[in-house]
Amino acid sequence: MSRYRYVNYDRPGVSSEHPMFGRYLSTAGSPPARTVLSHWRHWYQPGYLWSTRPPHVQHRSTPFSSARHPSYNRQPRPPGPYNWSSWRHSGVLPHQTHPRQSVHFSGGLMDCSAKEPPQKRRKSTEGERSPGERSQRSPERSFTKGTRGPKGSPEWLRNVPTGKFPSSPKSIPGTPELRRIWEDLSCPRNARPSAKGGKQKCPFDFSVMSYNILSQDLLCDNAYLYRHCNPPVLDWQHRFSNIIKELEQRSADIMCLQEVQEDHYKEQIKPSLESLGYHCEFKRRTGVKPDGCAVVFKRERFSLVSCHPVEYFRRGVPLLDRDNVGLVLLLRPIDSSCSFTNVCVANTHLLYNPRRGDIKLAQLAVLLAEISKVAQLPDGSFCPVVLCGDFNSVPGSPLYHFIKESNLEYDGLPTAKVSGQEENARGQRILTVPIWPKSLGISQKCQFESPSKDPEVKDLEQEALAEIDGFTKPSIQHSLQLTSAYSHYLKESGHPEITTCHSRTAITVDYIFYTAAMGDVMAHPECSVSPEMGLQLLGRLALVGEAELEKVNGLPNQHNSSDHLPLLTCFRLHPRTDN
């Protein structure tokens, strides 16, 4: 006789000693549990990734609906057997709160779908192992409680709403809009010089946006990060409408987007942006993840000189076995009255894992090497560079310092402190010397090395670069002079600016870096270039702090449909002096 009255072990290979669920149901006799078990058996079929929906079950659209990548050849995803809320939204269970005692799992490990996955215990010897001695495939989103930011999750984000949610975003009462102001740093944003006939005279002003729009697939896979949200606001159709509305309203000349899901890009995002006059370029992540990075620009403002997709995955290099990507474009300003140098625009989304700063630095080195190759001019100098993206690193971290200061001495630096996402670095893993292997073909100055160069000459050059103040210090460098378009602190209160916010954190990880011209408001005197070879920051869309986000229930919300805020800047490019 079966151990549990209402559990039928009718699948091949399943018995009372080996039930289909990983943990025994202790009180599965309640009607809701019987309903879930019955429908789950209809959903699950051995030999298929996902089974088709049973014809006798009428499912309503769920807020977490997501079209999978076409190459998956999967049917619609069934609700999780332990996720009561997903079954209620599917129409199988009534939309109400069930008593906790109706079903629970042994040990209390999986008694609530809003809880994050249980943490695996790390071995004490892990910090003593080298990167090549164990698998590098640790999950990107693995973390422990309170590690998504130096301060952990804000208290107001821990208050999970209860009760019946509205069925539509429009019916959510009293949700205010997030107010962001335009900061004028030189002249009004729209005060672009113009000429008769609609043609622009010198100089050339243009706007740049960086925006992580939140892939719907990742949203579904990490639903516990959005437990503070009303489920209707997470529906893709609602989110897409808001995102396109914001992109059209901001009307940036160049937009760098991250977490762009490929099927949504092809079917909805690209057609919508092309109808608004944009040219679109997209690079999907390697591996099985369906999202990637996109760079779009207005056809009336720029022409495409070249496009360079960047893959960080390198077969045979353990440090670069992740599927993150970047995209580098060389654009030519369109202006018949003056001659301008080209502008190099780069977009990326670095690895999330807070503990793997070595991987992030190696990925960044690959991107900087590509930028250096694309932006380099015949005389050895570089055209203006705009570097955007989600760097999964906080202001003031070693990785951030490396981008701005063009140099990083990393002797004894723990990998978990590189991105600054963890206040207390666990383990004792230290960055190796050198960080990335010579076989990668990238020097310690983040430039591609000629394969024909003598290996002994390479070693001598690297040793010469490491000689500082009479003794050797392990360091990496790059030749691009970059500064941040944002100050990372609110002007009035001095509180930290926030670019991303969900149930686990509220921090800054998104940036717009650029080559600052001499006299620019954000430029360091020693890190600026001539006006025609650099950019002048005219203004930016101000960010907000935790207090402002608390008023709108964090991100995403009814009006802001990503867990990131868009960054928007306006730059001025001066004409070449040889014109």
Residue 212 and residue 258 in contact, taking contact as beta carbons nearer than 8 Å = yes
Secondary structure of residue 108 in the 3-state scheme: helix
**CATH for 203-352+372-390+477-573, options being 3.65.10.10, 3.90.1570.10, 3.40.605.10, 3.60.10.10:** 3.60.10.10
Give the model's pLDDT for residue 145.
Answer: 35
Give the model's pLDDT for residue 126.
Answer: 39
Give the model's pLDDT for residue 473.
Answer: 85
Give the model's pLDDT for residue 34.
Answer: 45
Backbone conformation region of residue 154, classed left if phi is above 0, alpha if psi is from -120 to 50, else beta: beta
Counting DSSP H helices and E strands in the chain, the numbers are: 10, 19
Q: Cα(18)–Cα(11) distance, rounded to whole angstroms?
A: 11
Q: Cα(310)–Cα(93) distance, rounded to whole angstroms?
A: 46
Core vs surface per residue 213-242: b (16+ CB within 10 A) or e? bbbbbbbbebbebbbbbbbbbbbbebbbeb
For tokens 């995955």, name the residue.
Answer: 313
Residue 193 and residue 203 in contact, taking contact as beta carbons nearer than 8 Å = yes
Whether the CA torsion 448, 259, 489, 208 is positive or negative: it is positive
Cα dihedral: 229, 235, 238, 242 (round 10): 60
Give the model's pLDDT for residue 187.
Answer: 53
Q: Cα(35)–Cα(40) distance, rounded to whole angstroms?
A: 8
Model's pTM, two decimal places? Answer: 0.74
Give the model's pLDDT for residue 136.
Answer: 39
Give the model's pLDDT for residue 168.
Answer: 72
Cα dihedral: 310, 316, 318, 319 (round 10): -30
Give the model's pLDDT for residue 450.
Answer: 78
- Runs of H (alpha helix) within 187-342: 216-221, 236-250, 262-264, 270-275
Residues of the chain with pLDDT below 70 are: 1-153, 157-167, 170-174, 187-201, 425-427, 452-472, 579
Secondary structure of residue 404 in the 3-state scheme: helix
- Rg over alpha carbons for the chain, rounded to the nearest Å, is 26
Q: Cα(281)–Cα(465) distance, rounded to whole angstroms?
A: 37
User: What order of strands is seen across the sheet that includes strand 536-541?
Assistant: 182-184, 536-541, 567-573, 204-212, 254-261, 291-298, 278-284
Residue 219 and residue 66 in contact, taking contact as beta carbons nearer than 8 Å = yes
From 442, 478, 149, select the one nearest 320 (Cα to Cα).
442
From 409, 398, 382, select the one nearest 477 (Cα to Cα).
409
Identify any residues that bridge with 498 across adjacent strands, giving them in sequence order. 544
Identify any residues that bridge with 212 across adjacent strands, giving them in sequence order. 258
Give the model's pLDDT for residue 106.
Answer: 34
- Runs of H (alpha helix) within 305-416: 357-375, 398-405
From 414, 415, 258, 368, select the one nearest 324 (Cα to Cα).
258
Q: Which two tokens stand for residue 165?
A: 């949610």
Q: State how far the alpha carbon of 468 is from the alpha carbons of 407, 416, 456, in Å.
A: 12, 26, 21
For residue range 399-436, list pLDDT tens digits in order. 999 999 999 999 999 999 999 998 776 667 999 999 99
For tokens 């229930």, name the residue.
Answer: 553
- Domain spans, the chain: 1-113, 203-352+372-390+477-573
Q: Which two tokens stand for residue 215?
A: 């892939």
